[in-house]
Structure 1
Amino acid sequence: MGTGGVISDKWSMRILWLCAIGSAVGLYMVAVERQTQNRNRMLAANLKAMEDEGKHA
């Protein structure tokens, strides 16, 4: 009986850590994706501004 409790506790801790690490990785990937989108948006805006300046000149 006692050993069963120890084994299940060990596995529950592993599952808990797995969930925590999985959540952290997911959040990190979302943050990187947003950063990439923002950078692309800024580059596109700068490119458009440069094109507009080129047309006016």
Structure 2
Amino acid sequence: MGARGVISDKWSMRVLWACAIGSGISLYFVAVERQAQNRARMLAQNLQAMEEESGDAADA
């Protein structure tokens, strides 16, 4: 009867480790996605600023 407890403890630890690893992977992908969004936003802002500068230069 004591062996059943050991087996269930082993499986519960495996489940906990799987959840922890899954959470870590999810956080990694969220960070990568946010970094990509920030990069795209920065490029769009730079492009807009360049267009505004070229528009100002053409007007002058």
Unmatched segments (≥5 aa) in structure 2: none
Query: Share of identical aligned residues, percent?
Result: 72
How big is the shift at 1:35? 0.8
How big is the shift at 1:6? 1.0
Q: TM-score, normalised by structure 2?
A: 0.89
Larger Rg: 2
Unmatched segments (≥5 aa) in structure 1: none
Provide runs of 4+ in structure 1 moved above 3 Å.
none
Query: Whole-Å Cα distance in 1 between the matches of residues 51 and 20 of structure 2?
Result: 47
Q: TM-score, normalised by structure 1?
A: 0.93
| Residues 11-47 of structure 1 deviation map (CA, whole Å, 9 limit, x = unaligned) | 0000000010011111111111111101100000000
